[in-house]
């Protein structure tokens, strides 16, 4: 029997009625003859509420204790979903990240998965149980509870899918797949039927939260196709993220018309440091994946971090300031597409659009599949719409 890994985001399990609906959806899939592993996020805004509580007690709570606290959110939803499935007459068992053998680094609040030893999951599947897993958490080699960074439940799902050689990994949320820009901001954003891993990683790095970057990197390395779909919209086709090699895309890129998308991060920490502090800052930020960075060893550093992905952005900012860095909050806008940063043309054209629009931007950060500018937060929505209108061609 083929193993299917599904993941349901926080908004899909936000209340008991939604949990019941997810339970029925899981059972329907099981009845098609699959072995099912279901990863859940914390209900609704639970993670944010837990963080607020911690910060009310202490401006810089211990990162170890934060992980203890935040890992509870996912445990609540896993147990409730398991109970809802029992209630429908099916056998399910909930397991924490550590019970599933998810071994991580010891970097609290931002741990990376190093190994997955899913023996317990395999045992339970063999017994015919639906296995419900608490996302976003693991255990370090020091046997401490760790969490994987904001949005980390996607990573749990893909890592398990890889370790179990699953047939598919389905990521369900309240949005119907991946769009050419955030549809809440860009009115003309279009649903993308398929994307390469690289494009999706660049979109996530640029700030798109629909799929977690580390999760997509795992999928790429294990060559697992990811299906991003809407939980409650029946018949939603969603988006497939899978290996590149579409003829149509290659042909477009050759004609100098790469497929482009726009992604943005609304709350970005722009970290600047000079002299020796530059090197220290770069080393300190090594565990985070920055939106972009520029570094001249011993001379200067500029690092853009997506504050929405940090468990404690303010604490990190004051730590960096203590090291001699300056930290300001701004926004970032990116153009994504194969080869957009490989030739100067797209950076030049986009830069002239920004100038025409009177936007005060940073110099572009260029990588082969992404161009990123720091822009004022108040210009973000307008710039996202303008760049989408100018550069995102009809598919």
For residue 42, the partner it binds in Mg ion, ligand ASP, none, with Cβ less than 5 to 8 A by kind, is ligand ASP
Q: Is 313 among the residues that bind ligand ASP (CB under 6 A)? A: no
Residue whose CB is less far from ligand ASP, 26 or 262: 26
Q: Is 151 among the residues that bind Mg ion (CB under 5 A)? A: yes
Number of alpha carbons in the 13 Å side-chain half-sphere of residue 280: 12
Per-residue binding string, ligand ASP, 128-147, x by CB under 6 A, is -------xx-----------
CB within 8 A of 120, min separation 6: which ones? Answer: 95, 99, 100, 101
Q: How far apart are CA 366 and CA 353, in angstroms?
A: 17
Residue nearest to Mg ion (CB): 151
CB 326 within 8 A of CB 354: no
CB 214 within 8 A of CB 155: yes
Q: Is 150 among the residues that bind ligand ASP (CB under 6 A)? A: yes
Rounded to a whole number of angstroms, the minimum distance from the CB of residue 172 to ligand ASP is 12
Residue whose CB is less far from Mg ion, 79 or 308: 308
Structure tokens at 346: 């797209």
Q: Is 341 among the residues that bind Mg ion (CB under 5 A)? A: no
Q: How far apart are CA 109 and CA 64, in angstroms?
A: 8
For the chain, what is the radius of gyration of the CA atoms? 21
For residue 61, the partner it binds in ligand ASP, Mg ion, none, with Cβ less than 5 to 8 A by kind, is none
Coil, strand or helix at 44? coil
Coil, strand or helix at 19? helix
Per-residue binding string, ligand ASP, 15-54, x by CB under 6 A, is --------------------------xx----x-------
Q: Is 153 among the residues that bind ligand ASP (CB under 6 A)? A: yes
- Taking alpha carbons only, the member of 387, 296, 295, 293 closest to residue 337 is 387
Q: Is 10 among the residues that bind ligand ASP (CB under 6 A)? A: yes
Structure tokens at 153: 């439940």
Q: How many residues bind ligand ASP (CB under 6 A)?
A: 11
Rounded to a whole number of angstroms, the minimum distance from the CB of residue 210 to ligand ASP is 12
Structure tokens at 265: 């991060």
Structure tokens at 107: 């970097």
Per-residue binding string, ligand ASP, 70-89, x by CB under 6 A, is ---x----------------
Helix (H) or strand (E) holding 226: strand 226-230
Rounded to a whole number of angstroms, the minimum distance from the CB of residue 47 to ligand ASP is 4
Residue whose CB is less far from Mg ion, 101 or 151: 151
For the sheet with 168-173, list strands across it: 92-95, 130-134, 35-40, 3-8, 168-173, 226-230, 239-242, 194-196
- Taking alpha carbons only, the member of 278, 336, 283, 285 closest to residue 310 is 285
For residue 341, the partner it binds in ligand ASP, Mg ion, none, with Cβ less than 5 to 8 A by kind, is none
For residue 47, the partner it binds in ligand ASP, Mg ion, none, with Cβ less than 5 to 8 A by kind, is ligand ASP
For residue 94, the partner it binds in ligand ASP, Mg ion, none, with Cβ less than 5 to 8 A by kind, is none
Q: Which residues in this chain contact Mg ion in the complex, by CB under 5 A?
A: 9, 151
Q: Which residues in this chain contact ligand ASP in the complex, by CB under 6 A?
A: 10, 41-42, 47, 73, 135-136, 150-153
């Amino acid at each position: 029997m083929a193993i299917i890994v599904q993941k349901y985001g926080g908004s899909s399990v936000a209340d008991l009625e939604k949990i019941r609906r997810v339970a029925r959806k899981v059972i329907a899939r099981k009845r098609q003859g699959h072995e099912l592993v279901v990863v859940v996020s914390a209900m609704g805004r639970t993670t944010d509420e837990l963080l607020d509580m911690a910060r009310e007690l202490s401006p810089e709570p211990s990162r170890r204790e934060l992980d203890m606290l935040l890992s509870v959110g996912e445990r609540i939803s896993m147990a409730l979903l398991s109970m809802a499935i029992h209630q429908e007459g099916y056998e399910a068992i909930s397991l924490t990240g550590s019970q599933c053998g998810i071994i991580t680094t010891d970097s609290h609040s931002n741990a990376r998965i190093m190994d997955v030893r899913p023996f317990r999951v395999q045992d339970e599947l063999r017994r015919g149980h639906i296995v419900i897993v608490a996302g976003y958490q693991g255990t370090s080699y020091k046997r401490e509870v760790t969490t994987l960074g904001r949005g980390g439940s996607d990573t749990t799902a893909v890592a398990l899918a890889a370790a179990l050689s699953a047939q598919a990994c389905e990521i369900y949320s309240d949005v119907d797949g991946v769009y050419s820009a955030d549809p809440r901001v860009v009115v003309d954003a279009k649903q993308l039927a398929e994307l390469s891993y690289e494009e999706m990683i660049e979109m996530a790095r640029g700030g798109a939260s629909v799929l977690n970057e580390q999760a997509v990197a795992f999928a790429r390395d294990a060559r697992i196709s990811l299906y991003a779909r809407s939980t409650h919209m029946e018949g939603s086709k969603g988006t497939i993220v899978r290996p590149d090699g579409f003829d149509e895309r290659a042909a477009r890129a050759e004609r100098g018309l790469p497929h482009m998308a726009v992604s943005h991060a609304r709350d970005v920490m722009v970290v600047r440091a000079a002299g020796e502090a530059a090197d220290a800052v770069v080393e300190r930020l090594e565990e985070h994946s920055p939106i972009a960075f520029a570094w001249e060893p011993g001379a200067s550093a500029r690092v853009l971090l997506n504050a929405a992905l940090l468990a404690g952005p303010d604490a990190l900012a004051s730590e960096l300031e203590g090291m001699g860095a300056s930290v300001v909050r701004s926004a970032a806008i990116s153009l994504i597409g194969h080869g957009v940063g490989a030739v100067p043309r797209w950076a030049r054209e986009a830069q002239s659009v920004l100038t025409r629009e009177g936007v005060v931007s940073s110099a572009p950060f260029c990588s082969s599949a992404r161009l990123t500018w720091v822009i004022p937060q108040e210009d973000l929505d307008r710039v996202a719409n303008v760049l989408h209108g100018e550069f995102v061609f009809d598919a």
